[in-house]
Every structure is written in C-alpha cells, then in structure tokens.
Structure 1
Amino acid sequence: MDYANVPYAIAFAVTSGLATLHELQTVYGTEDLWDLVEIHAVNCFNESQIDHADRH
C-alpha cells in the first residue's frame, strides 16, 4: 500500500525514526530531509557491505 497524502521521502524519514513529522514540519527544511535520507541510505549500504564481507 502506498501513502496517499504523504510524500515518500517524508514517510521514509518518519518510519525510519530519522525525524518526527512535527520536526519535519517545524525544524527541518527540505534539504535537511534529503540529507537525512542520504545518511540513512549510505548507512544501510555500508552495513550490508559489512554483513556481506563477514559471510565470506
């Protein structure tokens, strides 16, 4: 199911625990949102690389 009223990047940030919806509405700007998404994506990639290296 997709989010009908929330942009995917905002839903991603909130469900990933990167920020609350209130923080995104009051504290962080659009650039901050994309920075949070990038940081999380890079961390996930790095963790998967470490997991892959540990299995081999």
Structure 2
Amino acid sequence: MHRPRRLLRPRAPRCGAFGEFTEANGLLTPSLKIRRQAVTTRYAAEIEALYGG
C-alpha cells in the first residue's frame, strides 16, 4: 500500500479582490475556517460595491 511521505496542510482561501486570508490577520480560525464577521467588517466597502447598487 502506498502512503504519502508527508501530509500537506490545507491551503488558506484567497480572493484577489480581498487579499490573503490568514490566521495572523484574524480572518481565519486555527482550523482554517473563515471568520465571516471579521471579513464582513473589514471588507464592507468592497462587498457593498459588488452587491450594492
């Protein structure tokens, strides 16, 4: 049975319009889940421009 030599850590989500999502900047939890409230607060203007009129 073939086993991988090392397990890769999941990659953090990225979106070009919003920059990087990392634990260090508070946009991800340690398990790499998006902190929606932090993202909504930080990128409110960009979100409004995308979805607002």
Which of the pair is proportionally richer in helix? 1
- TM-score, length of structure 1 as denominator length: 0.32
- TM-score, length of structure 2 as denominator length: 0.33
Q: Which has the higher contact order (CA 8 A, sep 6+)?
A: 1
**Higher Rg of the two aligned structures:** 2
